Amino acid sequence: MKSKEICCIGAGYVGGPTMAVIAYNCPKYNITVVDSNKSRINQWNGPVENLPIYEPGLKEIISDVRDKNLVFSDKIEESIKKADIIFIAVNTPTKTDGKGRGMAADLTNVKKCAELIAKSSSSDKIIVEKSTAPVGTGEKIKTVLKSINSKNKFQVVSNPEFLAEGTAINDLMNPDRVLIGGEESREGFEAVNTIANIYKQWLPNNKIILTNLWSSELSKLASNAFLAQRISSINSLSALCEKTGAKINEVSKSVGMDSRIGSKFLQSSVGFGGSCFKKDILNLVYLCQYFNLPEVAEYWHNVLKINEYQKERFFDKIHKSLKDIKQPTVSLLGWAFKKNTNDSRESASIDIAKKLLENNYSVNVYDPMVNDKTIIDDLNNLSVLNLEKLNIFSTVEEAVQNSHAICILTEWDEFQSLDYTFLSKLMQEAILFLDGRNIIQKDRVAKIFENTQSIDT
């Protein structure tokens, strides 16, 4: 059977769930997910309770398809060799050195994949750019492939991923759209159709958008930039609400009820996190600068500046309330960058904890999913001082014991049903309740804490 052997390089938050859902919906395709991180592969092959990532519904799907038409392997070359289609789903972080440092996407991992594919292949293949990468990356992959292997034909297709963590399985099963971009040639159209045929196994034609390579690459960056822009827009207005007495939830509801605007992504917060919004916007800003569009670059850069401003405002609120306490302790509820994930990359919690520790606060942390090692690594990676003042607990009760403030930083459902009267009694002094996600009705806690605030008050 032709074009039914798939290899995916990268067994992370995208590669793992995406291939699991393809395997589930396409029993006739054989899929091998490979990764250079062997312990990650071992974890994917281990008990489903201990998969390397947490996503609702993932372990059920993995139980269903693993070792049937989905295999996790560390034999990268072997898997590349036998595949007709190769997805590249490796990480594309922000560059830390060289030209474009701190802004441009680091494509080292993508380039390494292209080199290995070229060297290990002895048949024609379709290469799918699943990783988020700047406009022009598909062309670069093609150049690398051709320069190393002139015997085989490679078609490069862009198929960016739009899943959000915490809802990945649902997003993959019922996406708003699937985007596939290819070269504008007969071979290019054939390759695009081959990839479209995978998704057609469970999605209607009208959800599958076919474009050229560059539109597909830019649409991914644009989508993330628009989403982040909405959050920064509402967060910027939360600052104005504080000055005027308007309430951000009421403003958000009123604005969102205009069907031209829509209600999603208008929840004010301590700031957006996650591994992609910041890096993809930086990437977009860099592209604009590179093409000499400074006004456009500055426009998008402001989305990130407001996000930093929001986190600073949040810290200032804590500092203002607790400045007279001699040895203040703050309890942070939530470390993940959003609910229903164990991912804490770029989480606002990291920045808030950093500022608190560096200002001599004791910090107690509780998160239902993020493990202690990740929390410590997150702070160590930023060379945070005073780590001895950090304590991580496995229950909320322990985390609030003897503290002066409770700050909600992740919108975990369990934080909504907590008995805050009871918790306040465990505290040294219930001076501050600060809801960074706007998930608790202020009236519910107003009488319990000396000072009850959400992000707009």
Q: Is 112 in the site for ligand NAD (CB under 6 A)?
A: yes
Q: Which of 8, 113, 276, 407 is catalytic?
A: 276
Torsion of CA 411, 414, 417, 419, to 10 degrees: -110
Q: Does 299 bind ligand UGA (CB under 6 A)?
A: no
Say which entry of ligand UGA, ligand NAD, none residue 445 contacts (CB below 5 to 8 A, set by partner kind): none
Q: Please identify, using beta-carbon distances, which residue of 132 and 410 lies nearer to ligand NAD.
A: 132
Q: Report how far Cα 28 is from the mean position of its chain's Cα atoms.
A: 30
Binding-site size, ligand NAD (CB under 6 A) = 25
Q: Considering only residues 156-195, where is the footprint of ligand NAD by CB under 6 A?
A: 161, 163, 165
Q: By 3-state DSSP, what share of the chain in percent is helix, strand and coil, each rounded to 5?
A: 45, 15, 40
The CA-atom distances, in angstroms, between 49 and each of 44, 81, 123, 149, 262 are 10, 32, 38, 42, 37
How many whole angstroms from its chain centre is CA 179?
19
In degrees and rounded to multiples of 5, residue 434 shows phi and psi of -125, 115
Distance of CA 233 to the CA centre of its chain: 20
112 binds, among ligand NAD, ligand UGA, none (CB under 5 to 8 A by kind): ligand NAD
| Interface with ligand UGA (CB under 6 A), residue from 11, 34, 227, 445 | 227
Shortest distance (Å) from residue 136 CB to ligand NAD: 15
Residue from 55, 165, 217, 378 binding ligand UGA (CB under 6 A) = 165
Among 21, 23, 26, 89, binds ligand NAD (CB under 6 A): 89
Q: How far is the CB of 277 from ligand NAD (least distance, A)?
A: 10
Smallest gap from residue 398 Cβ to ligand NAD (A) = 30
**CB–CB of 29/101 below 8 Å?**
no
**Which of 13, 29, 314, 361 forms a contact with ligand NAD (CB under 6 A)?**
13
Question: Distance (Å, rounded) from C-alpha 89 to C-alpha 9?
Answer: 6
Stretch that binds ligand UGA, among 68-76, 155-163, 186-194, 198-206 (CB under 6 A): 155-163
Instruction: Work out whether the CA dihedral 252, 256, 261, 264 comes out positive or negative.
Output: positive
What is the spatial distance between Cα 227 and Cα 235, in angstroms, rounded to a whole number?
A: 13
**Is 26 an active-site residue?**
no
125 binds, among ligand UGA, ligand NAD, none (CB under 5 to 8 A by kind): none
Taking the least distance from each CB to ligand NAD, the nearer of 109 and 340 is 109
- Beta strand residue intervals within 25-111, DSSP E: 30-34, 70-73, 85-88
Question: Which of ligand NAD, ligand UGA, none is residue 273 near (CB under 5 to 8 Å by kind)?
Answer: ligand UGA
- Choose from ligand NAD, ligand UGA, none: what does 189 bind? Cβ within 5-8 Å by kind: none
Phi/psi at 386 (5° precision): 60, 35
* 9 touches ligand NAD (CB under 6 A): yes
Assess contact for 356 and 443: CB atoms under 8 A: no
* Amino acid identity at 430: A
d(CA 300, CA 449): 39
Judged by the rule CB under 6 A, the positions of this chain that interact with ligand NAD are 9-15, 35-37, 40, 89-92, 109, 112-113, 131-132, 161, 163, 165, 275-276
Judged by the rule CB under 6 A, the positions of this chain that interact with ligand UGA are 132, 161-165, 224, 227, 231, 265-267, 269, 272-274, 276-277, 337-338
Catalytic residues: 276
